[in-house]
A = this chain, B = another copy of it.
Amino acid sequence: MNQIKDDIKDYLEKIIKEEKQVARDGKIPDYIEKVDNEDHGAISMAITGLDGRCIKAGDDEGRFSIQSMSKVISLAVALMDQGEEKLFQHVGKEPTGDPYHSLSKMELQEDGGPLNPMVNAGAIAVVGQIKGKSVDDKFSRILDLTRNLAGNEEIDYNPEIVQAEGHDLNRALFYYNRYGGYVDGELEDVLPIYWRMTSIEMTIEELSRVAAVIANYGVDLDTGEQLIPREVVKVLKTFMVTCGMYDQSGAFAVDVGIPAKSGISGGIFASIPGRMGIGVLGPDLNRHNNSIAGIRLLKKISDRWNLSLFNQ
Protein backbone atom coordinates (compact mmCIF):
# COMPACT_ATOMS: atom_id res chain seq x y z
CA MET A 1 0.00 0.00 0.00
CA ASN A 2 2.80 2.38 0.84
CA GLN A 3 4.47 1.31 -2.39
CA ILE A 4 1.35 2.34 -4.30
CA LYS A 5 1.32 5.64 -2.47
CA ASP A 6 4.93 6.27 -3.34
CA ASP A 7 4.35 5.36 -6.97
CA ILE A 8 1.45 7.77 -7.20
CA LYS A 9 3.48 10.51 -5.57
CA ASP A 10 6.33 9.89 -8.00
CA TYR A 11 3.93 10.05 -10.90
CA LEU A 12 2.42 13.30 -9.67
CA GLU A 13 5.84 14.89 -9.19
CA LYS A 14 6.81 13.77 -12.69
CA ILE A 15 3.80 15.28 -14.46
CA ILE A 16 3.99 18.46 -12.38
CA LYS A 17 7.57 18.86 -13.52
CA GLU A 18 6.50 18.33 -17.12
CA GLU A 19 3.92 21.10 -16.89
CA LYS A 20 6.09 23.68 -15.12
CA GLN A 21 7.04 25.60 -18.26
CA VAL A 22 3.63 25.69 -19.95
CA ALA A 23 1.91 26.75 -16.75
CA ARG A 24 4.01 29.86 -16.52
CA ASP A 25 2.43 31.44 -19.61
CA GLY A 26 -0.91 32.37 -18.11
CA LYS A 27 -2.16 35.47 -16.36
CA ILE A 28 -2.97 35.83 -12.66
CA PRO A 29 -5.70 38.34 -11.75
CA ASP A 30 -4.20 41.30 -9.86
CA TYR A 31 -6.06 40.93 -6.60
CA ILE A 32 -5.41 37.19 -6.46
CA GLU A 33 -1.70 37.68 -7.02
CA LYS A 34 -1.47 40.31 -4.31
CA VAL A 35 -3.63 38.87 -1.57
CA ASP A 36 -3.09 35.18 -2.10
CA ASN A 37 0.66 35.67 -2.72
CA GLU A 38 0.54 33.21 -5.57
CA ASP A 39 3.62 32.63 -7.73
CA HIS A 40 3.75 32.33 -11.50
CA GLY A 41 4.53 28.77 -12.44
CA ALA A 42 3.90 27.27 -8.99
CA ILE A 43 1.91 24.02 -9.02
CA SER A 44 0.66 21.87 -6.18
CA MET A 45 -1.56 18.84 -6.14
CA ALA A 46 -3.17 16.46 -3.66
CA ILE A 47 -5.18 13.27 -3.96
CA THR A 48 -7.34 12.02 -1.11
CA GLY A 49 -8.65 8.47 -1.22
CA LEU A 50 -12.05 7.49 0.19
CA ASP A 51 -10.14 6.07 3.17
CA GLY A 52 -9.04 9.62 3.97
CA ARG A 53 -5.38 9.10 3.16
CA CYS A 54 -3.81 11.98 1.24
CA ILE A 55 -0.91 12.14 -1.21
CA LYS A 56 0.58 15.55 -1.91
CA ALA A 57 3.05 16.69 -4.55
CA GLY A 58 4.55 19.83 -6.02
CA ASP A 59 5.20 23.23 -4.49
CA ASP A 60 3.87 24.18 -1.10
CA GLU A 61 1.59 27.14 -1.67
CA GLY A 62 -0.10 27.29 1.73
CA ARG A 63 -3.67 28.52 1.97
CA PHE A 64 -5.48 30.04 -1.01
CA SER A 65 -9.02 31.32 -1.55
CA ILE A 66 -11.47 28.88 -3.12
CA GLN A 67 -13.31 31.54 -5.13
CA SER A 68 -15.89 30.00 -7.51
CA MET A 69 -15.24 26.53 -6.13
CA SER A 70 -17.41 27.66 -3.20
CA LYS A 71 -20.42 27.75 -5.54
CA VAL A 72 -20.67 23.97 -5.31
CA ILE A 73 -20.88 24.15 -1.52
CA SER A 74 -23.46 26.95 -1.43
CA LEU A 75 -25.51 25.05 -3.99
CA ALA A 76 -25.45 22.06 -1.65
CA VAL A 77 -26.72 24.16 1.27
CA ALA A 78 -29.46 25.78 -0.82
CA LEU A 79 -30.63 22.44 -2.21
CA MET A 80 -30.77 21.03 1.34
CA ASP A 81 -32.77 24.10 2.40
CA GLN A 82 -35.23 24.43 -0.47
CA GLY A 83 -35.27 21.23 -2.50
CA GLU A 84 -34.75 21.04 -6.24
CA GLU A 85 -38.17 22.18 -7.35
CA LYS A 86 -38.20 25.42 -5.38
CA LEU A 87 -34.54 26.28 -5.91
CA PHE A 88 -34.72 25.90 -9.68
CA GLN A 89 -37.44 28.52 -9.86
CA HIS A 90 -34.64 30.99 -9.09
CA VAL A 91 -31.88 29.65 -11.31
CA GLY A 92 -31.65 27.62 -14.53
CA LYS A 93 -29.86 24.40 -15.36
CA GLU A 94 -28.30 25.21 -18.72
CA PRO A 95 -24.64 25.67 -19.59
CA THR A 96 -24.13 28.92 -21.47
CA GLY A 97 -21.01 28.93 -23.58
CA ASP A 98 -20.64 32.52 -22.30
CA PRO A 99 -18.14 33.86 -19.75
CA TYR A 100 -19.08 33.42 -16.08
CA HIS A 101 -20.01 37.04 -15.51
CA SER A 102 -22.17 37.40 -18.60
CA LEU A 103 -25.43 39.26 -18.44
CA SER A 104 -26.37 39.25 -22.09
CA LYS A 105 -27.95 35.84 -22.31
CA MET A 106 -30.19 36.60 -19.33
CA GLU A 107 -31.51 39.51 -21.33
CA LEU A 108 -31.69 37.83 -24.70
CA GLN A 109 -33.39 34.58 -23.82
CA GLU A 110 -37.08 34.03 -23.36
CA ASP A 111 -37.37 33.32 -19.66
CA GLY A 112 -34.53 35.51 -18.61
CA GLY A 113 -33.20 34.05 -15.35
CA PRO A 114 -29.60 33.30 -14.49
CA LEU A 115 -28.50 30.38 -16.64
CA ASN A 116 -27.09 28.02 -14.00
CA PRO A 117 -25.72 27.99 -10.43
CA MET A 118 -22.08 28.13 -11.56
CA VAL A 119 -22.19 31.54 -13.30
CA ASN A 120 -22.00 34.49 -10.93
CA ALA A 121 -25.59 35.60 -11.49
CA GLY A 122 -26.84 32.11 -10.70
CA ALA A 123 -24.60 31.67 -7.66
CA ILE A 124 -25.96 34.95 -6.26
CA ALA A 125 -29.52 33.70 -6.78
CA VAL A 126 -28.58 30.44 -5.03
CA VAL A 127 -27.07 32.27 -2.05
CA GLY A 128 -30.33 34.22 -1.82
CA GLN A 129 -32.14 30.94 -1.11
CA ILE A 130 -30.05 29.87 1.87
CA LYS A 131 -31.96 29.91 5.14
CA GLY A 132 -30.85 31.85 8.19
CA LYS A 133 -31.68 34.84 10.36
CA SER A 134 -28.79 37.04 9.28
CA VAL A 135 -25.81 37.31 6.98
CA ASP A 136 -23.62 35.82 9.73
CA ASP A 137 -26.07 33.01 10.29
CA LYS A 138 -26.39 32.12 6.62
CA PHE A 139 -22.69 32.36 5.96
CA SER A 140 -21.88 30.18 8.96
CA ARG A 141 -23.99 27.43 7.43
CA ILE A 142 -21.83 27.50 4.28
CA LEU A 143 -18.67 27.74 6.37
CA ASP A 144 -19.71 24.85 8.63
CA LEU A 145 -20.31 22.57 5.69
CA THR A 146 -17.01 23.66 4.17
CA ARG A 147 -15.18 22.84 7.40
CA ASN A 148 -16.84 19.44 7.57
CA LEU A 149 -16.04 18.62 3.97
CA ALA A 150 -12.44 19.76 4.35
CA GLY A 151 -12.00 18.14 7.74
CA ASN A 152 -10.68 21.24 9.49
CA GLU A 153 -12.68 23.30 11.98
CA GLU A 154 -10.23 26.20 11.71
CA ILE A 155 -11.06 27.05 8.10
CA ASP A 156 -12.34 30.60 7.66
CA TYR A 157 -12.66 33.35 5.10
CA ASN A 158 -10.05 36.05 4.58
CA PRO A 159 -11.46 39.58 4.98
CA GLU A 160 -8.53 41.02 3.02
CA ILE A 161 -9.61 39.10 -0.06
CA VAL A 162 -13.18 40.34 0.33
CA GLN A 163 -11.77 43.86 0.33
CA ALA A 164 -9.55 43.33 -2.67
CA GLU A 165 -12.15 41.96 -5.07
CA GLY A 166 -13.94 44.15 -7.60
CA HIS A 167 -17.57 44.05 -6.54
CA ASP A 168 -19.50 46.26 -8.95
CA LEU A 169 -20.27 43.57 -11.49
CA ASN A 170 -21.77 41.41 -8.74
CA ARG A 171 -23.82 44.35 -7.54
CA ALA A 172 -25.13 44.78 -11.09
CA LEU A 173 -25.95 41.07 -11.24
CA PHE A 174 -27.77 41.22 -7.89
CA TYR A 175 -30.04 44.02 -9.02
CA TYR A 176 -30.55 42.46 -12.44
CA ASN A 177 -31.59 39.27 -10.67
CA ARG A 178 -33.92 41.16 -8.33
CA TYR A 179 -35.40 43.06 -11.29
CA GLY A 180 -36.32 39.69 -12.79
CA GLY A 181 -37.61 38.28 -9.51
CA TYR A 182 -34.82 35.72 -9.08
CA VAL A 183 -33.58 37.10 -5.78
CA ASP A 184 -35.30 38.95 -2.92
CA GLY A 185 -34.20 41.14 -0.06
CA GLU A 186 -31.49 43.73 0.11
CA LEU A 187 -28.04 43.67 -1.48
CA GLU A 188 -26.50 43.91 1.99
CA ASP A 189 -28.33 40.72 3.00
CA VAL A 190 -27.06 38.64 0.11
CA LEU A 191 -23.79 39.77 -1.46
CA PRO A 192 -21.66 39.75 1.72
CA ILE A 193 -22.42 36.02 1.99
CA TYR A 194 -21.30 35.55 -1.59
CA TRP A 195 -18.15 37.57 -1.11
CA ARG A 196 -17.20 35.81 2.11
CA MET A 197 -17.74 32.33 0.71
CA THR A 198 -15.51 33.01 -2.30
CA SER A 199 -12.84 34.21 0.14
CA ILE A 200 -12.75 31.04 2.21
CA GLU A 201 -9.18 29.77 2.35
CA MET A 202 -7.86 26.23 2.55
CA THR A 203 -4.82 24.13 1.68
CA ILE A 204 -4.49 21.84 -1.31
CA GLU A 205 -4.89 18.78 0.95
CA GLU A 206 -8.13 20.17 2.34
CA LEU A 207 -9.41 20.93 -1.17
CA SER A 208 -8.76 17.35 -2.22
CA ARG A 209 -10.70 16.17 0.82
CA VAL A 210 -13.73 18.28 -0.18
CA ALA A 211 -13.55 16.55 -3.57
CA ALA A 212 -13.22 13.17 -1.92
CA VAL A 213 -16.36 13.55 0.20
CA ILE A 214 -18.32 14.38 -2.96
CA ALA A 215 -16.70 11.35 -4.63
CA ASN A 216 -17.86 9.40 -1.57
CA TYR A 217 -21.50 10.33 -2.28
CA GLY A 218 -21.56 12.92 0.49
CA VAL A 219 -20.45 10.60 3.26
CA ASP A 220 -17.75 11.86 5.67
CA LEU A 221 -14.53 9.91 5.22
CA ASP A 222 -13.91 9.59 8.97
CA THR A 223 -17.26 9.57 10.74
CA GLY A 224 -19.43 8.04 8.03
CA GLU A 225 -21.91 10.84 8.52
CA GLN A 226 -23.96 11.82 5.44
CA LEU A 227 -22.81 15.43 5.17
CA ILE A 228 -24.76 16.02 1.96
CA PRO A 229 -27.67 13.82 0.85
CA ARG A 230 -26.81 11.56 -2.07
CA GLU A 231 -29.55 13.08 -4.24
CA VAL A 232 -28.00 16.50 -3.73
CA VAL A 233 -24.53 15.18 -4.53
CA LYS A 234 -25.93 13.88 -7.80
CA VAL A 235 -27.04 17.39 -8.73
CA LEU A 236 -23.67 18.86 -7.71
CA LYS A 237 -21.78 16.40 -9.88
CA THR A 238 -24.07 17.10 -12.82
CA PHE A 239 -23.35 20.83 -12.72
CA MET A 240 -19.65 20.16 -12.17
CA VAL A 241 -19.68 18.28 -15.47
CA THR A 242 -21.89 20.58 -17.52
CA CYS A 243 -20.84 23.97 -16.08
CA GLY A 244 -17.85 23.46 -13.80
CA MET A 245 -15.10 24.95 -15.96
CA TYR A 246 -16.78 28.16 -17.15
CA ASP A 247 -17.02 28.34 -20.95
CA GLN A 248 -14.49 25.52 -21.26
CA SER A 249 -16.79 22.99 -19.57
CA GLY A 250 -17.73 21.23 -22.80
CA ALA A 251 -14.12 20.74 -23.85
CA PHE A 252 -13.20 19.54 -20.35
CA ALA A 253 -16.04 16.99 -20.46
CA VAL A 254 -14.76 15.62 -23.77
CA ASP A 255 -11.07 15.72 -22.88
CA VAL A 256 -11.14 14.82 -19.16
CA GLY A 257 -14.68 13.75 -18.32
CA ILE A 258 -14.49 14.22 -14.54
CA PRO A 259 -16.88 16.27 -12.35
CA ALA A 260 -14.77 19.28 -11.38
CA LYS A 261 -15.01 22.93 -10.44
CA SER A 262 -12.44 25.66 -10.98
CA GLY A 263 -11.86 28.98 -9.26
CA ILE A 264 -10.10 32.16 -10.35
CA SER A 265 -7.38 31.58 -7.75
CA GLY A 266 -6.17 28.78 -10.03
CA GLY A 267 -7.60 25.93 -7.99
CA ILE A 268 -9.64 23.02 -9.33
CA PHE A 269 -11.19 20.22 -7.36
CA ALA A 270 -12.25 17.02 -9.11
CA SER A 271 -14.31 14.14 -7.75
CA ILE A 272 -13.91 10.62 -9.13
CA PRO A 273 -17.10 8.90 -7.88
CA GLY A 274 -16.36 5.93 -5.64
CA ARG A 275 -12.62 6.44 -5.96
CA MET A 276 -10.94 9.67 -4.90
CA GLY A 277 -10.87 13.43 -4.71
CA ILE A 278 -8.24 15.57 -6.41
CA GLY A 279 -7.17 19.12 -5.62
CA VAL A 280 -4.82 21.03 -7.89
CA LEU A 281 -3.54 24.60 -7.75
CA GLY A 282 -1.73 26.42 -10.54
CA PRO A 283 -2.42 30.14 -10.43
CA ASP A 284 -1.68 30.89 -14.11
CA LEU A 285 -4.99 31.04 -15.97
CA ASN A 286 -5.96 30.50 -19.60
CA ARG A 287 -8.45 32.77 -21.41
CA HIS A 288 -11.37 30.86 -19.90
CA ASN A 289 -10.02 31.71 -16.43
CA ASN A 290 -9.13 28.11 -15.70
CA SER A 291 -5.78 26.97 -14.31
CA ILE A 292 -3.54 26.00 -17.23
CA ALA A 293 -1.62 23.44 -15.16
CA GLY A 294 -4.78 22.18 -13.48
CA ILE A 295 -6.50 21.24 -16.69
CA ARG A 296 -3.42 19.64 -18.21
CA LEU A 297 -2.67 17.59 -15.09
CA LEU A 298 -6.24 16.38 -14.74
CA LYS A 299 -6.23 15.28 -18.38
CA LYS A 300 -3.05 13.26 -17.83
CA ILE A 301 -4.47 11.61 -14.72
CA SER A 302 -7.81 10.90 -16.39
CA ASP A 303 -6.09 9.31 -19.38
CA ARG A 304 -3.66 7.25 -17.29
CA TRP A 305 -6.24 5.73 -14.99
CA ASN A 306 -9.18 5.85 -17.44
CA LEU A 307 -11.30 8.04 -15.17
CA SER A 308 -13.66 9.69 -17.65
CA LEU A 309 -17.28 9.32 -16.58
CA PHE A 310 -18.10 8.87 -20.24
CA ASN A 311 -15.84 5.87 -20.67
CA GLN A 312 -17.35 3.75 -17.88
A residues sitting closer than 8 Å to B (CB atoms) are 84, 92-98, 102-105, 107-110, 115-116, 166, 168-169, 171-176, 178-179, 230-231, 234-235, 237-239, 241-243, 247-251, 253-255, 257, 259, 273-274, 287, 308-312
Contact = CB atoms under 8 A, between A and B. Distances in A.
B95 A95 contact: yes
B168 A175 contact: yes
Contacts of A250: 92-95, 116, 242-243
Contacts of A115: 97
B105 A97 contact: yes
Contacts of A98: 97
Q: Which 8 A/B pairs are nearest by Cβ-Cβ distance?
A: A104-B104, A94-B250, A168-B179, A172-B175, A171-B175, A172-B176, A95-B95, A93-B251
The secondary-structure label for the interface of chain A is helix
A75 to B, nearest CB: 11
Contacts of A273: 312
Given A94-B251, A96-B97, A239-B254, 12 more contacts: A94-B248, A95-B242, A95-B249, A97-B115, A103-B103, A104-B108, A110-B287, A168-B175, A171-B171, A172-B173, A235-B310, A309-B309
A102 B92 CA distance: 20
Contacts of A235: 254, 310
A115 to B, nearest CB: 6
A254 B274 CA distance: 19
B311 A312 contact: no
A257 B233 CA distance: 13
B172 A179 contact: yes
A230 B308 CA distance: 12
24 contacts: A93-B251, A94-B95, A94-B250, A95-B95, A95-B249, A103-B104, A110-B287, A168-B175, A168-B178, A169-B176, A169-B179, A171-B171, A172-B175, A231-B311, A234-B257, A234-B308, A234-B310, A234-B311, A235-B254, A238-B254, A239-B254, A242-B249, A243-B250, A259-B310
